[in-house]
Each structure stands twice: as structure tokens, then as C-alpha cells.
């Protein structure tokens, strides 16, 4: 299964709920940066995680404690079957980056194991299990562009007429999502119970209007991420200086994403930034959610 990273075009965050999670009003977009999850038969349970050059392998959770292990146990328990198989995860999505790479792997594991174990889990059940694994996991199944509510796990596809281009600047040292939410609470003790809504973003997507989308991009977690990592503000400024229409922190960060006017403009921005940063990637959007890749 090939599973995409995400950016939040809009991320409205409210005051924490009694369960500690924050209510979200968000618009996700799946971008062309992927992990591959492959399942094969085995008598026991094995996970093999491999990382590409720009993924910090040291930031991965220890063996047995990966979100794909949890995905396997949850799916198996749901159907009353044994956890058996060999799961290989080839990671190209940076870790602890605000790009939902772990969520993508969990979504890929659910679908790959559903096929391996011939379970034919209905979509609604798969989405519910995904939501139990993490707030961003259902979106990784759905892909495209989608409105997310609840703690992010309730997703509905939205019309998106655009073909968008992002420059993505990840950093080896990740940010912890709970830390960023904690800082958000400190910075916004008066956050509304219901977060504000993303109407301007939804309109720009429907119109395929890149300049309107650039104006409407919004991330309530950005101030918290910048407070923890002030140098990210310089990356945003450098990207906009280089010709990006608008730069922002992706989700809880620290990845900076820059919306560009075209593929050519994205290549130009990436070329200008490349000498100053370890990794600068280009990603088209929107792309499909978890999908099967047939290899020749
Ligand atoms: O759902 P997920 O496992 O991705 O969440 C990771 C952490 O991020 C949670 O334990 C919580 O601290 C924080 N979070 C939150 N509100 C959300 C989503 C995540 O506070 N809506």
C-alpha cells in the first residue's frame, strides 16, 4: 500500500475536551510524499522498518511499539484472528514532522493486513478503527482534500478543483505533538470551545484559486510551534522571499510547507532554498489516500 503525507490547509483548535484531546476544525490535504507498507505471510509477527536518507531513523519508536503494531493488534482483535505476517514499512515521510507519517503507516497497515488476512472489513469499520489508532489516521485512508472535525478523526471529502504545488522543508529534529498542544494551551488559555471554521479555504479549493488559498491558509498551532522552535519563522520568511506564495508550519510542525503558484515556481523556490537546508522536497497535491501499488 502506498500512503501519503498530509498538510493542514486550515487548523482551527479549541480548548481541550474532558478527554484531553482538542476539538479541531481542519482541512487536510494529502500531498505527494509517501510511505510504502507491504504485508506478506509469516508464521509469527515481524515488522521491518526502512528509512530513506532524509528520514531520521533514530526518531522511530522501538520495535513492537510502532503504530503499525497497534494497527495489527486492533484489526486482529476486531475480527478475532491471530496477528501473523511480515510487514515492511519503507519510510520516505519525515518522522515527528507534522506530516502524519506515522498515521499514514497505520492506515497502510490496516488496509494491507485486511487484504493479507482476507477480512474484507467494511469501510465504516476501517475508518472507526483508524480513528482509534490516531486522530489523523482516517484521513490517510480517505486522502484528497477533506474537512476534519471531532479531534480530527471525523473526515469528509471536500471538492478540490486545484492542482497545487508545495515545497516541503523538514528537519531531522522533530517536535512532539503533545508538547505543541501543551504550549498552545499555555499561549491560548481562552481558546474557544468550538474552533473557528475554514470557509475561505473551502471556497479557494472549490475555485482552484491558488492566490485565494494562499491568503486563507491558517494554523492555530503555528504560534506554539514557533515558540518552541523560533528559527522556523526564518524558514517561512526565506521561502516567501524565494517566491513561495505563502509559508506555514505543517500541523504541529516542525516541517515548513510553502504553497507555490505552479510546478515551475515550486522548483525555483526549492532550488533557492536547497543550499541552506538539509532537505527540500517538492510535492504535488491533492493525491489519493492509501492505495494499492501493483509492481511489475
Ligand atoms: O491522535 P494522536 O495519537 O495523533 O494524538 C497525539 C497527541 O496529540 C495526543 O495524545 C494529544 O496530546 C494531542 N492531540 C490533541 N488534540 C487532538 C489531536 C491530538 O490534544 N485533536
Instruction: With H, G, I as helix, E, B as strand and everything else as coil, classify residue 18.
Output: coil
Q: What is the pLDDT of residues 125-154, one digit of tens each?
A: 999 999 999 999 999 999 999 999 999 999
Atom of ligand 1 nearest to the CA of 13: 21
164-285: CATH class: alpha beta
Q: What is the pLDDT of residues 102-118, one digit of tens each?
A: 999 999 999 999 999 99
CA separation for the pair 229, 219 (Å, rounded): 15
Catalytic residue numbers?
A: 6, 136
Ligand 1 neighbours by CB, cut-off 6 Å: 21-22, 24, 134-136, 151-152, 177-178, 181
Packing angle, helices 67-79 and 123-133, rounded to 10: 140
Alpha helices in 190-248 (DSSP H): 199-207, 210-216, 222-228, 232-241
Q: Are strands 45-51 and 85-91 parallel, antiparallel or unpaired?
A: parallel
Domain spans of the chain, in order of start: 2-157, 164-285
Q: Are strands 218-219 and 2-13 parallel, antiparallel or unpaired?
A: parallel
Q: What is the pLDDT of residues 14-68, one digit of tens each?
A: 999 999 999 999 999 999 999 999 999 999 999 999 999 889 888 888 888 899 9
Res. 186: pLDDT tops 70: yes
- Gap from CA of 164 to ligand 1 centroid (Å): 27
Q: What is the pLDDT of residues 60-101, one digit of tens each?
A: 888 888 999 999 999 999 999 999 999 999 999 999 999 999
Contact yes or no for 232/221 (Cβ under 8 A): no
Indicate the CATH number for domain 2-157: 3.30.230.10
Atom of ligand 1 nearest to the CA of 178: 12
Q: Residue 34: which of 213, 292, 296, 238 has the closest Cα?
A: 292
Amino acid at each position: 500500500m502506498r500512503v501519503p503525507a498530509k498538510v493542514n490547509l486550515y487548523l482551527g483548535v479549541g480548548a481541550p475536551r474532558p478527554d484531553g484531546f482538542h476539538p479541531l476544525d481542519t482541512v487536510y490535504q494529502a500531498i505527494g510524499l509517501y510511505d510504502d507498507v507491504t504485508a506478506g505471510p509469516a508464521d509469527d509477527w515481524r515488522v521491518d522498518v526502512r528509512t530513506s536518507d532524509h528520514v531520521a531513523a533514530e526518531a522511530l519508536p522501538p520495535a513492537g511499539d510502532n503504530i503499525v503494531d497497534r494497527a495489527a493488534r486492533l484489526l486482529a482483535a476486531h475480527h478475532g484472528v491471530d496477528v501473523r505476517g511480515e510487514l515492511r514499512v519503507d519510510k520516505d515521510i519525515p518522522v515527528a514532522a507534522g506530516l502524519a507519517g506515522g498515521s499514514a503507516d497505520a492506515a497502510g497497515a490496516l488496509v494491507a493486513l485486511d487484504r493479507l488476512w482476507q477480512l474484507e472489513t467494511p469501510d465504516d469499520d476501517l475508518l472507526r478503527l483508524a480513528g482509534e489508532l490516531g486522530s489523523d489516521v482516517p484521513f490517510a485512508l480517505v486522502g484528497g482534500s477533506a474537512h476534519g472535525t471531532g479531534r480530527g478523526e471525523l473526515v469528509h471529502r471536500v471538492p478540490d478543483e486545484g492542482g497545487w504545488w508545495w515545497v516541503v522543508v523538514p528537519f531531522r529534529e522533530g517536535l512532539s505533538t503533545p508538547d505543541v498542544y501543551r504550549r498552545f494551551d499555555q499561549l491560548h488559555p481562552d481558546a474557544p470551545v468550538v474552533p473557528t471554521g475554514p470557509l475561505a479555504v473551502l471556497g479557494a479549493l472549490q475555485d482552484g484559486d491558488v492566490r485565494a488559498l494562499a491568503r486563507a491558509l491558517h494554523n492555530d498551532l503555528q504560534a506554539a510551534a514557533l515558540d518552541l522552535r523560533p528559527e522556523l519563522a526564518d524558514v517561512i520568511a526565506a521561502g516567501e522571499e524565494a517566491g513561495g506564495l505563502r509559508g506555514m508550519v505543517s500541523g504541529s510542525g516542525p516541517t515548513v510547507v510553502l504553497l507555490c503558484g505552479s510546478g515551475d515556481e515550486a522548483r525555483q523556490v526549492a532550488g533557492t532554498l536547497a543550499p541552506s537546508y538539509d532537505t527540500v522536497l517538492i510535492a504535488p497535491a491533492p493525491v489519493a489516500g492509501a492505495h494499492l501499488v501493483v509492481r511489475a
